[in-house]
Structure 1
Amino acid sequence: MGALTADRPKGLLPINGRPLVAHQITNLRQAGIQDITLVAGYRAEQYAGLGIEVVVNPEYATTNMVASLFCATTVFDDPKGNTLVHYGDVIVEPRHLERLNAEPRDIACLVDMDWIDYFRARGEHWRDDVEALNMGEDGRLLTIGGAAENLQHVHGRFVGALKLSSLGAIECHAHYRQMLESAADSPGALQAIRQQYTTDFLQSLIDNYIAVQATLIKRGWLEFDCTADYEAAVSWFRTKDSRFFDVSSIPAMEPGL
């Protein structure tokens, strides 16, 4: 995000008077999630004082989302109850996080069924960020990630939040370790795994007959992928525009955050 993150990680960008990560923590707590672990990389030391566990990915510059996720060894070595995985550059309304946490399937992800108007509002190049996502009639994901050739074949938008039951967390961790072991003798394949996006990993689960359920929502989230996203969100909070996200659902200030 250029100059916006020259001196801070993206999670500390101010939104409505508070850092992005503070909104995420508040919304997770409102959804009943109290035990929160943040995996950081760039300028990780700036996350001190949030009142949550901060784990550092020392190889953040050469790895990607999935490698960072499994740095949270305290979560995946001995999972207890549900684990919600939440991207660091999205805000999700608490009601959606609650619904995701209540999903009975072992592995589930939030999918927005009413995403196109939001993407159009993010800028003229919105189509560049459209990803393939196809579901079966039972709501299980069939394909996720990669370029979408036709919008009619995009059944929804992955929001950047996952729910893993204890079994789901164990399955995901085991699958990741298996991938690393199978690529141990091939530096190129090993690096490709370490560079995986979350959608790549989810597709790998699906390809290996591990079910991934879609928890369907309509709007109620914001993504901060580029400067235009940030500027649009700041404008919506300033003008109290709740077309895509209920800007009144989160406080402007909270002691200690």
Structure 2
Amino acid sequence: MKKILVPVDFSEYSENALKAASQIAKKQNAEIVAVHMLGLSDAVITKEEDSMEGLFLLKLAQKRFAEFLDKDYLEGITIHQTVKNYKVFSEIDDVAKEHDAYLIVMGSHGSSGLSEVFVGSNTEKVVRTASVPVLVIKDAHNFTASKAVFASDYKLESLKVFNKVTALFKALDIEVKLLYVNLPTESYLSTNEIEQRITNFLVHLNEDSTILPEDIAIYSDYSVEKGIFNYAKRVKADIIGIPTHGRKGLAHFFSGSISEDVVNHSKLPVLTVKI
């Protein structure tokens, strides 16, 4: 892991992300690329009479950016800062590619479960379009995760994501609890059918994989979201990993309401990887 990208809007949420990224960077000897999206209007950019205003706003953003990054917890970490005139958060992926970032860390103010954390937010726009994993941080805390829950449908189309997520957790020295959530819907499978799907999936993993069918928990619940949170609570996980279907968004992955107990666990960091 060489570079971690952190979008910055000067809010407490982006500082939460910056703190988490700094802890990962120190552990992985990685660099941080902090990007601020200026979002100037086309008029300010194109009209000659407004060019001075645009230059002033750019200089002001750069000054504020430098002050924002003047933090003790960033000491010893190589920080790259860039200001882009992006107005939509989907363009963050372009910055990640430009700097060859392996991970994006973002803050979020969502407070009612994963659906509310992401759906309709700038965070979800990044999650939908990012070609690299996105780690979403909700609260200011030390990123000292030691146990993760990763849910998958164990279809062959998920192999690439599965390998990417497990490799990332391994690099971060985080134990992974693998999960399949079985639902009482049209997609319901018997235990035997689930085990057959999991076995077929594991056969297609890398030859050096040591994962066995019994390493994957089968948990029944009324929604994927409930199943993930309830299982995470059961095993005392510190972080949740989930796949997303790109532009279909996380709304495609999650459905249903969640209980008050589950809401409390939405404070866990969430790592998303696009299928």
Does the TM-score normalized on the shorter chain lie above 0.5? no
Higher helix residue share:
2
Q: TM-score, normalised by structure 1?
A: 0.30
Structure possessing the higher relative contact order (Cα contacts under 8 Å, 6 or more residues apart): 1
